Chains A and B, each alone.
Chain A
Amino acid sequence: MRTHEDQWLEEIYRNTLPRVAGMIYRVGGHLEMAKDIFQDAVIIYLEKQQQNKLPAGVPAEAYITGIARILAVRKLKQSGQHIPLDGMEGDIGVPADYYAPPPVAKPVLEYVKAAGKRCLQLLHAFYYDHLSIPEIAAGFNFKTEHSASVQKYKCLEKVREQIKQSDYAETVS
Chain B
Amino acid sequence: MRKQLAEAQEIEQYLLREMPVSSRLVFQARMLVAPALREKVKYQRKTMQLVRWLAREEKRNELDQLFLRLMQDTAFNNSITSIFK
* Residues of chain A at the chain B interface (Cβ within 8 Å): 6, 9-10, 13-14, 17-18, 21-22, 25, 30-31, 34-35, 39-40, 42-43, 46, 97-98, 100, 102-104, 109, 112-113, 120, 123-124, 127-129, 149-150, 153-154, 156-157, 159-161, 163-164, 167
Contacts and interface: CB of A to CB of B under 8 A. Distances in A.
A150 B54 CA distance: 23
B54 A104 contact: no
8 contacts: A21-B84, A31-B80, A39-B64, A98-B56, A123-B51, A157-B4, A157-B5, A160-B44
Interface string B9-23: 100100000000000
Nearest to B67: A35
B12 A124 contact: no
A14 B70 contact: yes
B1 A14 contact: no
Interface of B: 1, 4-5, 8-9, 12, 39-40, 43-44, 46-56, 58-60, 63-64, 66-67, 70, 76, 79-81, 83-84
A157 B53 CA distance: 18
B84 A100 contact: no
A153 to B, nearest CB: 4
A18 B60 contact: no
A109 B58 CA distance: 14
B71 to A, nearest CB: 9
A29 to B, nearest CB: 9
A12 B59 CA distance: 15
Contact of B49 (A35, A103, A157): A103
Given A46-B59, A157-B8, A21 B40 contact: no
Given A13-B76, A21-B83, A123-B48, 11 more contacts: A30-B84, A31-B81, A34-B84, A35-B67, A40-B60, A150-B5, A153-B1, A156-B47, A160-B47, A163-B43, A163-B46
Most chain A CB within a 10 A radius of its CB, from B44, B49, B50, B53 = B50
7 residue pairs, one from A and one from B, having the closest CB atoms: A128-B55, A103-B49, A153-B5, A39-B63, A153-B8, A123-B51, A160-B43
A21 B80 contact: yes
A39 B50 CA distance: 20
Given A18-B79, A156-B8, A150 B1 contact: yes
A1 to B, nearest CB: 15
Given A13-B70, A100-B49, A160-B40, A43 B84 contact: no
